[in-house]
């Protein structure tokens, strides 16, 4: 009989591409992961993984098992949810990973709502960008991720995750007060093609939004300065170090002395924010109230 925990290890190896990375995500040793994979291969009677210079990849048999793994693990999440509901499930801890602006905009207000509506649910919050928080959900390090759509992100129909849309917000152009476009009502991105740019590091979902917006306007942004902290990005723009695109909510409470904020001309670049949980866990009696509270906070 195939053990479910070994299926979880197989999926982690498929997600992380190396035994070492999967082991770190699962808080196991690489040798323990290798032993469990070997045991799984013995249980199934098939070779499931192949090791190469670039890491580990699944064999065709491994791919077949992985497709069933996603369904099996989702069903186990549903079973846990129903058992928790049967046992009332009114008290417990839910861990939420979110990027900083998401914490301020929806996670913190959701905590306040839950304190009144579900006082038995304790929330632990971790600051993590979307490209980090989604793997944390899959690896069972956290229960809920508040993340941003980005290139390479698991799609909404990913069999491992359930997505709950929260909100979408535009990016605004931030330019120094002495910039030639500071007096414009709206800023055409194509007019910034030759400017020096300030933006998030590659890997940050907002980096993808900025680059894709500039590519759509016909150029590659010349990113000379990098920071994942939008307060720092605005400060650099105020120092005339370059121009930037910043999510509108990230500008709330930020010192805008020395810069001008203008909407983008035409279709504004937008980040779409969603909550994600392991598929099957969305109706867990501890997680469902958290998702509802996040949705209410986003609508408010």
Check which CATH number belongs to the domain holding 59 and give it: 1.10.10.10
Tell me: do 247 and 279 sit in the same domain: no
pLDDT at 83 over 70: yes
Residue 1: pLDDT band (50, 70, 90) is: confident
Instruction: Tell me what the mean pLDDT of segment 2-20 comes to.
Output: 86
Tell me: do 134 and 209 sit in the same domain: no
**What digits encode the pLDDT tens for the residues 183-199?**
999 999 999 999 999 99
How many domains does the structure of the chain reveal? 3
Tell me: do 180 and 241 sit in the same domain: yes
Tell me: do 248 and 287 sit in the same domain: no
Could you give the 3-state DSSP secondary structure of residue 33?
helix
Of the three residues 26, 58, 81, the one that is the final residue of a domain is 81
**What digits encode the pLDDT tens for the residues 210-220?**
999 999 999 99
Q: What distance in Å separates the CA atoms of residue 74 and residue 14, rounded to the nearest whole number?
A: 17
Which CATH number is 211's domain given?
3.40.190.10
pLDDT at 90 over 90: no
Q: What are the Cα distances from residue 236, in Å, to 193, 194, 198?
A: 18, 17, 8
pLDDT at 205 over 90: no
Which range scores top for mean pLDDT: 20-29, 45-54, 149-158?
20-29
Instruction: Tell me what the mean pLDDT of segment 267-287 comes to.
Output: 92
Instruction: Tell me what the mean pLDDT of segment 117-140 comes to.
Output: 90
Of the three residues 54, 81, 108, the one that is the final residue of a domain is 81
List the one residue out of 81, 80, 74 whose CA is nearest residue 7: 74
Tell me: do 115 and 229 sit in the same domain: no
pLDDT at 267 over 90: no
- Which has more pLDDT, 131 or 162? 162
Tell me: do 172 and 261 sit in the same domain: yes
Tell me: do 223 and 180 sit in the same domain: yes
Instruction: Tell me what the mean pLDDT of segment 284-293 comes to.
Output: 94
pTM of the model: 0.71
Residue 88: pLDDT band (50, 70, 90) is: low
Tell me: do 135 and 153 sit in the same domain: yes
pLDDT at 290 over 90: yes
Question: pLDDT above 70 covers what percent of the chain?
Answer: 98
CB 102 within 8 A of CB 273: yes
Instruction: Tell me what the mean pLDDT of segment 287-296 comes to.
Output: 96
Domain carrying residue 58: 2-81
Tell me: do 181 and 265 sit in the same domain: yes
Tell me: do 29 and 107 sit in the same domain: no
Residue ranges with strand state E in 86-156: 92-98, 121-127, 144-148
Residue 86: pLDDT band (50, 70, 90) is: low
Tell me: do 261 and 278 sit in the same domain: no
Of the three residues 33, 57, 81, the one that is the final residue of a domain is 81
Q: Which two tokens stand for residue 122?
A: 């304790």
Q: What distance in Å separates the CA atoms of residue 71 and residue 155, rounded to the nearest whole number?
A: 16
Task: Supply the pLDDT for residue 89.
Answer: 60
Tell me: do 173 and 254 sit in the same domain: yes
Q: What are the Cα distances from residue 171, in Å, to 81, 132, 181, 230, 236?
A: 38, 22, 17, 12, 17
């Amino acid at each position: 009989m195939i053990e479910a925990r070994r299926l979880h290890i197989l999926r982690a190896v498929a997600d992380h591409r190396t035994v070492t990375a999967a082991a770190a995500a699962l808080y196991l040793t690489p040798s323990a992961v290798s032993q469990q994979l070997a045991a799984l291969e013995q249980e199934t009677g098939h070779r499931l993984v192949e090791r190469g210079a670039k890491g580990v990849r699944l064999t065709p048999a491994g791919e077949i098992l992985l497709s069933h793994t996603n369904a099996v693990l989702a069903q186990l999440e549903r079973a846990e949810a129903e058992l928790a509901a049967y046992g009332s499930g009114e008290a417990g801890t839910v861990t939420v990973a979110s990027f900083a602006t998401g914490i301020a905009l929806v996670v913190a207000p959701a905590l306040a709502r839950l304190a009144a509506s579900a006082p038995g649910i304790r929330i632990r919050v971790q600051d993590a960008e979307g490209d980090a928080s989604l793997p944390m959900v899959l690896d069972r390090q956290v229960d809920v991720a508040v993340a941003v759509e980005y290139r390479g992100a698991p799609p909404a129909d990913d069999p491992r995750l359930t997505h709950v849309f929260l909100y979408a917000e535009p990016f605004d152009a931030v330019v120094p007060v002495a910039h030639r476009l500071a007096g414009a009502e709206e800023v055409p991105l194509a007019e910034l093609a030759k400017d020096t740019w300030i933006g998030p590091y590659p890997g940050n979902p907002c980096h993808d939004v900025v680059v894709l917006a500039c590519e759509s306007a016909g150029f590659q942004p010349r990113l000379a300065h990098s920071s994942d902290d939008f307060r720092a990005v605005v400060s650099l723009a105020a120092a005339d170090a370059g121009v930037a695109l910043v999510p509108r909510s990230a500008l709330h409470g930020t010192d805008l002395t020395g810069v001008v904020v203008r909407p983008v001309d035409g279709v504004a670049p937008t980040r779409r924010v969603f909550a994600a949980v392991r598929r099957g866990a969305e109706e867990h009696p501890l997680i469902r109230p958290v998702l509802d509270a996040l949705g209410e906070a986003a609508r408010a």
